[in-house]
Structure 1
Amino acid sequence: MIEASDVFEYFMCPYKVYNKHNRDKSLMLPFSDFSKKLMEAGREHEKEVISKLKVSRPFYKWGDFSKGFLETVKLMQIGADYIYQGVLKDRNYLGIPDLLIKEKGKSRFGDYHYVAADIKSSAKSKEEQIMQVKFYNMLLEKAQGFDAGKGILILKENSETVDLTQIEDKFNSALTKIDLMCKGLEYGMHIDGVCKDCPWREVCIPLAKKKKDVSLIYGLSRPMHYKLIENEILTLNNLIKANTSKVAKLTEATEETVEKWKNYARVIISGKAKISKINLPKTKNHICFDIETTEDGKLYLIGIWHKKKFRYFLSGDNEKKIINDFIEYLLGLKDYILYHYGPYEKSMFRQLFDKYKIDDSIRNDINSKMVDLYQIVKKNAVLPLTSYGLKEIAKYFKFKWRSTDASGGNSMLWFDEWNKNKDKKVLKKILNYNEDDVKATYIILKKMSKGKV
């Protein structure tokens, strides 16, 4: 049975669909606490939306989807305005949209028809969500004898009506692939940074390493990977042996990019990193820092590693105080360089400086002294890793976080818990996590400045 979730997953990672239909589910890892919270937030958003509508719902025993479909059709025949979790079924296709919404227009039921809608807690619509609604629309057309040509996504802040007429070819191609994968076609394995949160990661990553799959190359996009596959470049060795000019032409990449891929491939096979030594800017104060924010993007902690000592600026609900205290600390130093890992810190500071109207001379001075260590690593290091995230690289350099469940997502959960009950043990866990992050940043900085592992 091909379900709407298969279409959704296909446009995130096709190999998830293959795994679901061809592997033992016991191989899946449990979802993280943060992933569970996101799911719960999605369910709460759905409840809130539904509570404002007068909905009808088909009654049937779960699993008896043929009965569920008949009950849904009955509701459509009597013209129910909103059908909640109606069952749509055709051959081996099954879809249960969050809502079927009645609109004026002809169908086999009379002078009205239905439009499929899904409720999502994201801020903007995504391709996988639109394709899922397209799947519902396909089944809905069969049921009502009319193609609405559109779907609705009820998002966190607003609703979007999406045009489904322009994605027909892409959708049909995906559906054909999904059907073949359900029958055993192995297709679509691609390793990248998002794999670290996937329940199937303990299947895919070891398998890719065993095969020396070409997608192990850091920075190789899925579209580029598929172009390589189409030209029978499946493994790291295939790529190394291939003619650079020919690969560049086939993939529409530059020869410089192809040579970079080959360099990564050699490092992955050998397991030996290549690091070009960097010269650090001259300053008395090399400061590594990291910020922690809530789920809705509110700053609650800035931690720094300065002269081998951890300092922090914390407030449960007063981000203005945090940013002002941090600025005061920096102004007291005058001469300093701020190292962070990734673009988030600079982006957040820009927002906070705007929000609290920080003087231009101060903000410009701080911005000029911020250095993104991630960009330095990307430019000067070739590592046998599939992700260049802070944790992956620091762990490669033998650094260990004290919490086994350390992650940005979990730190948000810990903050929520501490904010409710002020448990000192939870606060200690938050601070330890932040301290480990800034220490890890420092370790990477030190390795890059020495030019060796």
Structure 2
Amino acid sequence: MAVRDRRAQRGYLMADYIKATDLYTLTECDRRIYLNYFGNPDERVPRAPFEEWLAQEGERFEQTVIEQFTEVYQPRYRIGDLEAGYDATLELMAEGVPIIYQGVIIHDNMIGIPDLLERVEGGSRLGGYYYRPIDIKLATRAKLGHRLQVMAYIALLEGLQGIRPDGSLFLRLPPEERSETALYQEEKVALDEQIFADKLAEIRELAAGLQPRPFISSVCKSCPWHDSCLDLADQERDVSLIPGLPRKVWAELHARGMGTLPAAASATRAQLINISGVGDKRAFDIIHRSRSLDANTMIQVATPDLPEPGPVETFFDVESIPTEGIIYLFGALIGANRRYEFAVDLAPTFADEHRAWQDFLRRMDRTPGYVYHYGTYERTAIKQLMARYGDDPRAHGLLDRMIDLEKVLKAAVVLPLRGYSLKDVAPWLGFEWQGTTDNAADSMVEYITYQTDGDRDRLDGVMRYNEDDCYATVHIRDWLLTLPHIK
């Protein structure tokens, strides 16, 4: 078979191969690719429990999808010996089997392991058929990175078969559309030669040793190199420490000599608004946030827009698993003058969500006063539940009474923090979580694990975590009320 001539061209060590998955990684962070090739492995941090659960969930979903196919063949080779995996994959392709699971494909100095290779009728070097790649994703919507990864598989197969196939992404259906017989939707992918060539050229530079600066953003939280990049950004006082700074603006600030916090803090509005993507508000944010971070001090810019405390107040927080589409806990501190009672409406199982939602609406309907929350998610969750279970005047009344303290805080003060989440702001103000669970991701894992082991201590821990979140919200509101009035 002509494809087997590829063996004579080999001679690379596996570390010399560019990986198809690099195409996905590039869309999130170029530095991560560099560190994957050249970084010190001791600096990698292990996956957080929720990241581990997501990976396992992706594997479970993949297996569920594959079970829908008949005659699935998998190349046999010793784990880690991808050269042998490539040979075994070529043998299955030469035999013309219908579906190959996790075949190893290599061409030039690129390697890929698509989830599936599907036989298609049509002439190629293999004979009267060829193969097309399919990648199975837990995501419900395709990202550019997903498409680029499939494009890499297409390019690899074209090099092996002499014919360019199309490819597919199997994307998990949104929760409300899933059933036992409907698991995924298919999105076709074709090779965009220009985009693929440009991205591949970037990766080749990174794999050859080009080291990018660290760019700190929200995507860093799930990266194993997070700590080392953050340490370097701190040492260099990099302007990406400003929360929410777009990458293009960051790059332009560096190009214009304003890539550090001191330099950005000294910039003028006129200098900044000449940068594409920077208007008056962003220029204001860059200057003030740079000054705050550089001096490690708060800057008050306005009076907090808050009502006076009332006779009854509610501080509200929800817990959910966005990937599963379930909102499983509605927690509320109800009271006034630092005397609150914690009320919780809980869905012990996924099937109990509707009942918990109705219980929460009844509770809020009989509780007067403002309802404080931190961040946009609580309002989003209520709208999702209205869409799922029907419009409800009680929900509209609740939305009308809600006050987002994150919005109030951001309009009033600039804090010397890399983020403005509840977990960033409340500790800076001296608040401490009391339970063993202190972040939303771990809370999700505890709730998910409770579904299988029934350990009530896990559920109690989730409720205690939510109660702490509500008290953190109280802490922030009370602090905002202490700030002086600015004319």
- Give the TM-score normalised by the residue count of structure 2: 0.86
User: What is the rounded CA distance, in whole Å, between the counterparts of 1:379 and 1:392 in structure 2?
Assistant: 17
Q: Residue type matched to 2:226 in 1? A: R
Give 3-state SS (helix, strand or coil) of 1:333's partner: coil
1:21-69 CA distances to partner (integer Å, 9 max, x unpaired)?
A: 1211121111111111111111111112222221222223334333332
What does residue 281 of structure 1 align with? 307
Two-structure CA RMSD over aligned residues (Å): 2.2
In the TM superposition, 1:4-403 aligns within 5 A as: 4-53=20-69, 54-148=71-165, 150-157=166-173, 158-166=184-192, 168-187=193-212, 189-275=214-300, 276-282=302-308, 283-294=310-321, 296-306=324-334, 307=336, 308-309=339-340, 310-317=342-349, 318-334=352-368, 336-357=369-390, 359-360=392-393, 362-403=394-435
**Residues 277 and 450, structure 1, Cα contact 8 Å, conserved in 2:** no
- Inter-CA distance 112–65: structure 2 relative to 1 (3 Å threshold): same
> What is the letter of the counterpart of residue 268 of structure 1?
L
Q: Does the 8 A contact of 1:11 with 1:127 survive in 2?
A: yes
* Aligned-partner SS, 2:275: helix
- Residue equivalent to 2:473: 441
* Deviation by residue 1:192-214 (Cα, 9 ceiling, x = unmatched): 23323332221111211110111
Higher mean displacement: 198-207 or 104-113: 104-113
Please report how far the alpha carbon of residue 356 of structure 1 lies from its aligned counterpart in structure 2 after TM superposition. 4.0
SS in 1 for 2:79: coil
Conserved? CA contact 2:50–2:441, under 8 Å: yes
Tell me which amino acid in the other structure corresponds to 1:4.
Answer: A
The number of residue pairs the alignment matches comes to 448
Q: Say yes or no: does 1:413 pair with 2:445.
A: yes
| Helix, strand or coil at the partner of 1:122 | coil
Contact 2:373/2:403 (8 A) holds in 1 = yes
Question: Aligned in 2, Cα 1:419/1:78: closer, same or farther, shift over 3 Å?
Answer: closer
Partner of 2:181: none
Alpha-carbon displacement from aligned partner over 1:102-145 (angstroms, at most 9, x marks no partner)? 22333222332221111111112122111111111111111111
Deviation larger for 312-321 or 387-396 = 312-321
Question: Structure 1 residues 72 and 89 mapped into 2: Cα distance closer, same or farther (>3 Å)?
Answer: same
Shift of 1:268: 0.6
- Residue 251 of structure 1, CA deviation: 2.4
What amino acid is aligned across from residue 303 of structure 1 in structure 2? Answer: G
Work out the CA distance in 1 between the residues paired with 2:84 and 2:162. Answer: 20
Change (3 A) 1:15 1:443: same
Counterpart Cα distance in 1 of 2:215 and 2:221 = 12
The 8 Å contact of residues 305 and 435 in structure 1, kept in 2 or not, is answered as yes
Gaps of 5+ in 1: none
Distance across 1 between alignment mates of 2:278 and 2:115: 42
Cα distance in 1 for residues equivalent to 2:61 and 2:238: 40
* Counterparts of 2:98 and 2:376, CA distance in 1: 46
Tell me the distance in 2 between the aligned counterparts of 1:384 and 1:172.
Answer: 41
Deviations along 1:86-106, whole A, 9 cap, x unmatched? 111123311111111122333
Matches of 1:410 and 1:417 in 2, distance apart?
10
Query: Is structure 2 residue 459 aligned with structure 1 residue 427?
Result: yes
Structure 1 residues 94 and 428: alpha-carbon distance in aligned structure 2, compared to 1, 3 A threshold = same
Q: Which amino acid aligns with 1:348?
A: A
Task: State the AA in 2 paired with 1:18.
Answer: Y
Q: Measure, in 2, the Cα distance between the counterparts of 1:59 and 1:363.
A: 56
Whole-Å Cα distance in 1 between the matches of residues 103 and 362 of structure 2? 58
When residues 401 and 284 of structure 1 are mapped into structure 2, their CA distance, relative to the original with a 3 A threshold, is same
2:370 & 2:363 partners in 1: Cα distance? 13
SS in 1 for 2:481: helix
What amino acid does structure 1 have at the position aligned with 2:366? G
CA deviation map 1:422-447 (0-9, x unaligned): 43322221111001111111111122
Which deviates more from structure 2 when the two are superposed, residues 375-384 or residues 416-425? 416-425
Answer whether contact 1:152 1:159 (CA < 8 A) is retained. Answer: no
Residue by residue over 1:282-308, the C-alpha shift from the partner in whole angstroms, topping out at 9 and shown as x without a partner, is: 433232110122452323321112333
Question: After alignment, is 324-333 or 21-30 more displaced?
Answer: 324-333
Amino acid in structure 1 at the alignment position of 2:445: L
Letter in 2 for 1:280: L
In structure 2, what is the Cα distance between the partners aligned to 1:16 and 1:40? Answer: 22
Sort the Cα spacing of 1:66 and 1:225 in 2 relative to 1 into closer, same or farther, 3 A.
same
Q: Cα distance 1:87–1:371, how it changes in 2: closer, same or farther (>3 A)?
A: same
* Alpha-carbon distance change, 154 to 188 in structure 1, aligned in 2, over 3 angstroms: farther
How far does residue 313 in structure 1 lie from its aligned partner after superposition? 2.1
Residues 329/65 of structure 1: CA separation in 2 closer, same or farther (3 Å cut): closer
Inter-partner Cα distance in structure 1 for 2:372 and 2:456: 29
2:438 is paired with a residue whose SS is coil
Aligned AA for 1:172?
Answer: A
- Compared with structure 1, are the counterparts of its residues 199 and 402 closer, same or farther at alpha carbon in structure 2 (3 Å cutoff)? farther
Q: Offset of 1:191 from its aligned partner?
A: 0.9
Is the CA contact (8 Å cut-off) linking 2:34 and 2:210 kept in structure 1? yes
SS at match of 1:366: helix
Moved more, 336-345 or 52-61: 52-61
Contact preservation (8 Å) 1:73, 1:143: no
- CA deviations on 1:227-285 (whole Å, 9 max, x unpaired) are 33344432223323445434322324214422320111111100001233314224332
AA at the equivalent of 2:274: K
